[in-house]
Amino acid sequence: PLVLIVGAGVGIAAILGTIRFVRGWSLKPMIYCALVPVLILTAYAWVDPNLRVILGLAWDCGAVTTGPVTVPLVLSLGIGIANAAGKGDSSLSGFGVVTMASLFPIMAVLILGIVVSSTITPEQIIAAAEAQASAGSAELTVWDQTPVNEIVLGVRAILPLVIFLMFVLFVILKSSLPNRMVTTYGLVLSILGMCIFNVGLTYGLGAIGNQSGAVLPAAFMSLPISPSSPIFPELVGLAIVIGFAFLMG
């Protein structure tokens, strides 16, 4: 349900962005109208102890629009519709959909949390999470292991979307590609690139990030994995950690 509700939020944002291009609406009022409910829902969740724990999850779900698949697609969709509708003087007129698509998933997750909290008790949620965790701790199949899992995720991220776009282009719109060979070549490279990207994240960036995050608190506190911790005085160590987080951001 969480993945579906986040996808629905991005879809609603894309629909509103499309209507904005066609109707020539201003972007600012739409952002304000989307941001105000998000802030109200956030404040409501903050005062509820059972909902406060999902605030980080909800706001992080807004980052789904910063992915390597969503951003190019949403931007190209907006630019194409804006140019076709004749509502913009340049390609910059298509921007703004990503901002909308960042807010609606947050709103959707908060609404989902409120609905679930009002229909299911916290004990039932904890029991379901424990059951899911115990089921996930079972022996992994070959499809769940690295690097096969990353390859499957890379293909799953692009191929269904390509099939859907081709169906819309060829069947519904009765159109054709101006250069099929170049497009096919680009799609193959995009799928291969996404698979390599996922494998690289698992073996490279993700691994070094986990290791750095596990050892970084040793700069200001004692950790079993670091015999020499704390390495610096508390204030100096905290300053180093804060500076590291700032530079990473």
How many CA within 13 A on the CB side of residue 159? 10
Supply the DSSP symbol for 92.
Answer: G
Dihedral sign from CA coordinates of 246, 35, 10, 28: negative
- pLDDT at residue 18, rounded to an integer: 81
Measured in whole angstroms, how far is the alpha carbon of residue 12 from the centre of its chain? 15
Tell me the per-residue pLDDT of 180-219, one tens digit each, with 9 for 90 and over.
899 999 999 999 999 999 999 888 888 888 888 888 888 8
Q: Which residues contact 46 (CB under 8 A, 6 or more apart)?
A: 52, 55
Dist. CA 104–CA 127, nearest whole Å: 29
Instruction: For the chain, list residues with pLDDT below 70.
Output: 85-95, 135-139
Q: Which residues contact 159 (CB under 8 A, 6 or more apart)?
A: 191
- pLDDT at residue 108, rounded to an integer: 92
Dist. CA 149–CA 143, nearest whole Å: 5
- pLDDT at residue 92, rounded to an integer: 58
Measured in whole angstroms, how far is the alpha carbon of residue 139 from the centre of its chain? 28
Dihedral sign from CA coordinates of 165, 168, 173, 176: positive
- pLDDT at residue 87, rounded to an integer: 59
For residue 72, CA distances in Å to 69, 148, 240 come to 6, 26, 35
For the entire predicted model, the pTM comes to 0.78
- pLDDT at residue 85, rounded to an integer: 66
Q: CA triplet 162, 149, 64: central angle to 5 degrees?
A: 55
Q: Which two tokens stand for residue 119?
A: 């229909």
